[in-house]
A and B are shown apart, each in its own frame.
Chain A
Amino acid sequence: MKKPFPWLSTLIVVLAALYFLVPLYATFQFSLQMKRGEWSLAAYESVFSSDVFLSTLAYSAVASLAAIVVGAALVAPTAYWVRLRLPKLRPVVEFVSLLPLIIPPVVLVFGHIRMFGSSSILPLTTTDGGTNFLLVSGYVVLSLPYMYRAVDNGMASIDIVTLTEAAESLGASRARTIMEVILPNVRSSIISGAFLTFSISLGEFVLASLLNRPAFGPYLVQIGQDRAYEPAALAVMTFALTWACMGLMQYFATRKPGQRVFPRLTLALSRNEAR
């Protein structure tokens, strides 16, 4: 028997899609109306021609990449060790990793300023390098729930204990086991966590603003107060960047070992071989 068309579920999906897409489309349309009476990319040109835009974006990108490296270096061995040797501690570690979702960033940054301010033993906020370090460490904390969950899920999908034992039975040291067996098998999870960290850190406002860093988040807020069309263009670009990150995350998460990043150019190769 033919199934009736699912009107209700289709309607729900359409309404949900409209809820997300209509404001986005409106923002996009608005960003094209900088010149009166015509549609143009003037707002985008204005944004790209701004040195501040490029410098803040570059600053935030570098800070985000640093946060990814530090976060992955902290989280991957921790998640591995907890699964291998301290499985009873997993609920505790999971709870700790979720704390940044509960504690607002403003609490974290004030903690940083109090702990590492000019009157502390370690006055990191008195130098640019020190403050940058605090910003990156803050980003690491903010992205911890996402990075930990991504890596831990990756480790759950493979049998960490047996793979470790298999590698050790073949003579591998613990370090070699981690580098050659464990990390390559959770690489897609680490990359997923990395993209999430990147999309969270890139437009982050609270930490960057209160630590007085020339980052992209404060720039977005500042330009939103001063201009009309450029913030709309920036919002659309930020959306596009986030979606690109999500797309890449999905691509890497579903890639199987041995699959190439890009398909092999079979035709060109076979021609070369023929010669």
Chain B
Amino acid sequence: MSFLKLSAVSKAFGANVVVKSFDLSVRKGEFVSFLGPSGCGKTTVLRMVSGFERPTSGAIEIGGRDVTHLPANQRQIGMVFQSYALFPNMSVFGNVAFGLKIAGASKPEIASRVKEMLDLIQLGHLADRYPYQLSGGQQQRVALARALAARPQVLLLDEPLSALDAKIRVSLRDDIRAIQRELNITTIFVTHDQEEALTISDRVVVMNGGIAEQCDTPHEIYNRPTTRFVAGFVGKLNNIPAIVVDPDAGTVRVESDVVTLEPRAVAGRKAGDPIVLALRPEAVSMGTRSGDVVLEAKVQEVYFLGSVIRLKVAAAGVSLSLDIFNRADAPPPDVGSTTHVSFSSHAVIVLDS
């Protein structure tokens, strides 16, 4: 049963429609990320859930209550902003206590809840500090504690990690997920960082041009993208142009070679249809043994990434990227050398040309 429900929600600013008939059902305690490029409408959807923007049409329900026309301060939401938005005139304690004061909690209740929240984010010793005395990561932890203190029904996170440096971003990301699980709070997380979205979420909504292109688990989004946009936006993708030869047999032609795929991969297509065979870099291997499709290749570039070496090779008339593990006893191939690359036909994602 859905706890947060958006039904055919649209938003237009003048003639510019930024969100088009957006539907989403989020279960209680689920962590859903909105992922997409700038201007795709993800923040607008979040702001409509929070009540800072009013939908042009459609309805929003939280916990079975229609909140479409409720102002933000009556929705019982907790929100964390990219810029932290801590109140500069209040100490850490004052910031976390603010929502509880507004809710009319008693002083002992406020003190106990603030302590609980600060312990949760491991900043109990900084209760008397002011925001300008904290680092970015500490400020965002306080913002999270403040958003959670008044026990909101839904937690909304608007790119909360974007302003932090890489190391703190990863550590805070893990903390957010752990806290969200511990409190079992329904959470919407907006990000343009696919690694963040894939790592932290129960489900990811990939948005583009104001619509939800795909809404699924990170595993499905990455391995079975349903649209070309999702396939290209999430992760790196090799695109090999091909022509359908026999859809019933699942055969396609790549340059002069005929490759056999699973028939269902090309189901619904006709012989002669141009298609694209999309492959993740990790699905392509060096040598001839790792898959049933083997192509001749010439090494163009070698990128040393530490534990992984990324190769760029010319094969099937296009440039392909593939990742191999770095092994001290096996140096990477030389640039300009010829080799073979192979992949399993099961790993191929068939897209429209």
CB of B83 within 8 A of CB of A170, answer no
A176 nearest in chain B by CB position: B102
A166 nearest in chain B by CB position: B85
* A257 contacts partner chain B, Cβ-Cβ < 8 Å: yes
Chain B residues within 8 Å of A158, by CB: 88
- Count A interface residues, CB 8 Å: 22
B50 nearest in chain A by CB position: A169
CB of A162 within 8 A of CB of B130, answer no
Secondary structure of the A contact surface, majority rule: helix
In the complex, what distance in Å separates the CA atom of A214 from the CA atom of B74? 53
Interchain nearest-CB distance for A180 vs B (Å): 8
Chain A residues within 8 Å of B160, by CB: none
Chain B residues within 8 Å of A256, by CB: 130, 132
* A129 contacts partner chain B, Cβ-Cβ < 8 Å: no
CB of A163 within 8 A of CB of B87, answer yes
CB of B81 within 8 A of CB of A171, answer no
Q: A170-B98, A172-B102 are in contact. Are A159 and B73 (CB under 8 A)?
A: no
Interchain nearest-CB distance for A151 vs B (Å): 16
* B89 contacts partner chain A, Cβ-Cβ < 8 Å: yes
* A45 contacts partner chain B, Cβ-Cβ < 8 Å: no
Interchain nearest-CB distance for A175 vs B (Å): 11
Q: Quick one: which of A167-214 are within 8 Å of B by CB?
A: 167-173, 176, 180-181, 184-185, 187
Interface centre among A168, A170, A187, by most chain B C-beta atoms within 10 angstroms, is A170
In the complex, what distance in Å separates the CA atom of A236 from the CA atom of B103? 55
Report which B residues bind A (CB closer than 8 A): 50-52, 71-74, 76-79, 81, 83, 85-91, 98-99, 102-103, 130, 132, 146-147, 150, 156
Question: What are 21 inter-chain pairs, A to B, with CB distance below 8 A?
Answer: A158-B88, A165-B79, A165-B85, A167-B87, A168-B73, A169-B79, A169-B147, A169-B156, A170-B73, A170-B98, A170-B146, A171-B99, A171-B103, A172-B102, A173-B73, A181-B87, A185-B87, A185-B89, A187-B89, A256-B130, A257-B130
Report which A residues bind B (CB closer than 8 A): 158-159, 162-163, 165-173, 176, 180-181, 184-185, 187, 256-258
Known pairs A165-B52, A171-B99, A181-B89. 20 more at Cβ < 8 A? A158-B88, A163-B85, A163-B87, A165-B72, A165-B79, A166-B87, A167-B98, A168-B52, A170-B78, A170-B102, A170-B146, A171-B74, A171-B103, A172-B73, A172-B98, A172-B102, A185-B87, A185-B89, A187-B89, A258-B91
